[in-house]
Amino acid sequence: MKPFNVFPYDSNIDFMRLRMISLAVAALIMVVGIGAMFAKGFNFALDFTGGVGIELAYDKPVDVDSVRKRLEAAGYESAQVQTFGTGKELLVRLRDDSRKNAGDDPTASIAESVRVAASEPGNPAKKLRSAEISPQVGRELAENGLYAVLFVVIGFLAYISFRFEWKFAVAAIITTLHDVLVVAGWFALSGHEFDLTVLAGVLSVMGYSINDTIVVFDRVRENFRGMRVSPGEVLNKSINQTLSRTVITSFVAFLTVLALYLYGGGSLRGMAESQMLGIVIGTLSSIFVACPLLLWLGVSKQDLMPKARDEAALARRP
C-alpha cells in the first residue's frame, strides 16, 4: 500500500513540538462552543419542541423538495416534509411557534393554510388529518438523547481502559468530548436547526473520533514496546506512521457525507453537516489533541508494561 501513501511512511514531522499551541487552540475552540451553547442555546427543531403534524394526499405523485419550497415561501421555514405510504401522500410537521396568532383553533387553521400552500397547479392537496404533537414527546427525546451520549462515553471509557491503560482512556475520552462539543457548539453558534438527525450525526462523530484515536494509540503502544526512545519521539513516530491512513480514510468518508449533504435532501442536511464537521475536527484532534494529551499526562512504557512484566520482557531480549 506504500504507493497510496499521501505522506512518506518514514516522514518525521515534529507534531509534539507544537503540542502546547495545538492544545491551547483546541481548548479555545471548545470554550467558544460551550459558551455558544450556554449563551445562545440551540435552535431545537420540532423533534424537541412539539408542534403540529398534517397529513396530505395528492392525486398525482409530488416532489418533496418542491412542496418544501412552497411552504418556505408561505412562511413555514422550519417545515419538515416527508413521504409516507405511497408517493402521493406527505407528512408535514411544523414547530410549535407556528401556532402563534393562529386563531381559536390553531391546529385546524394551520392545517388549512399548509394545504393551500402545498397544493400544486393541477394537483391540489387534500387534508387527511392533522394533530398536535405534544412537547412532552420532545422532552422525552431530549432525555433519551442525553442518556445515549452518556452511555457511549461510559462505554468508550470502559473499553479503552480494558484495551490500553487509564491514561490512554482519559486522553481518548477528552479528545472525543472535545469533538462533540465543537460540533454541538457550531450548531448553537450558527443557529442551524438541531433535530434527531443532527443528534444521530453527533453520536456518529463520537464513534468516528474514537476509532481514529484508537488507531493512533494502537501504533503508540506497539512503538513503546519496540523502540528505546523518549515518549515524545514515540508519539511523533506513531502519528507520522499513521498519517497517510488517517488522511485517506477521512477524505473518503468526507466525500461520502458531502454527497449526502448535496443530494440527500433537506431532512438529512443537518446530519450530514454534523458529520462533515465531525470528520474534519476528529481527524485533526487525533493528531493534534490525543497524543499531546498523552504526553501531558506523562505516558511511558510502564503504562503499557507493568514493572514486573517489563523487567521480564527486557531480560529476555538479546
pLDDT in tens, 211-270: 888 888 888 888 887 788 888 898 999 999 888 888 888 899 999 999 989 887 777 888
Q: Is 59 helix (H, G, I), strand (E, B) or coil?
A: coil
Beta strand segments in the chain, E: 43-44, 51-57, 80-84, 86-95, 126-133, 193-194
Calculate the alpha carbon distances from 3 to 57, 108, 310 in Å: 56, 64, 37
Alpha-carbon span 57 to 86, nearest angstrom: 9
Domain with CATH 1.20.1640.10 in the chain: 2-42+137-307
> What is this structure's pTM?
0.77
Cell digits of residue 37: 451553547
Contact 236, 13 (CB under 8 A): yes
CB 64 within 8 A of CB 82: yes
276 HSE (CA, 13 A, CB side): 16
217 closest CA partner among 145, 146, 303: 303
CB atoms within 10 A of CB 36: 20
CA distance 29 to 237: 27
What class has domain 51-133?
Answer: alpha beta
Average pLDDT, integer, range 60-65:
85
Grid cell for residue 101: 396568532
Q: What confidence tier does 274 reach under pLDDT thresholds 50, 70, 90?
A: very high
| pLDDT for residue 307 | 45
Length in residues, the chain:
318
Pair 114, 102: CB distance under 8 Å = no
Question: Are 78 and 195 contacting, i.e. CB atoms less than 8 angstroms apart?
Answer: no
Rounded Cα distance, 49 and 172, in Å: 33
Cell numbers 457525507 correspond to what residue? 257
Lookup result for grid cell 393562529: 102
DSSP letter at 6 equals S
What percent of the chain is modeled with pLDDT above 70?
A: 85
Q: In what order do the strands lie in the sheet with 80-84?
A: 80-84, 86-95, 51-57, 126-133
Q: Name the CATH superfamily housing domain 2-42+137-307.
A: Multidrug efflux transporter AcrB transmembrane domain (1.20.1640.10)
Contact (CB, 8 A) for 52 and 93: yes
The pLDDT confidence band at residue 22, using thresholds 50, 70 and 90, is: very high
Q: Which three cell numbers stand for residue 77?
A: 421555514
Q: Where in the chain is the domain with CATH 3.30.70.3400?
A: 51-133
Smallest Cα–Cα separation from 50: which of 151, 140, 171? 140
> Is residue 75 predicted with pLDDT exceeding 90?
no
pLDDT in tens, 127-179: 888 877 766 556 676 677 778 778 877 887 777 777 777 888 888 889 988 99
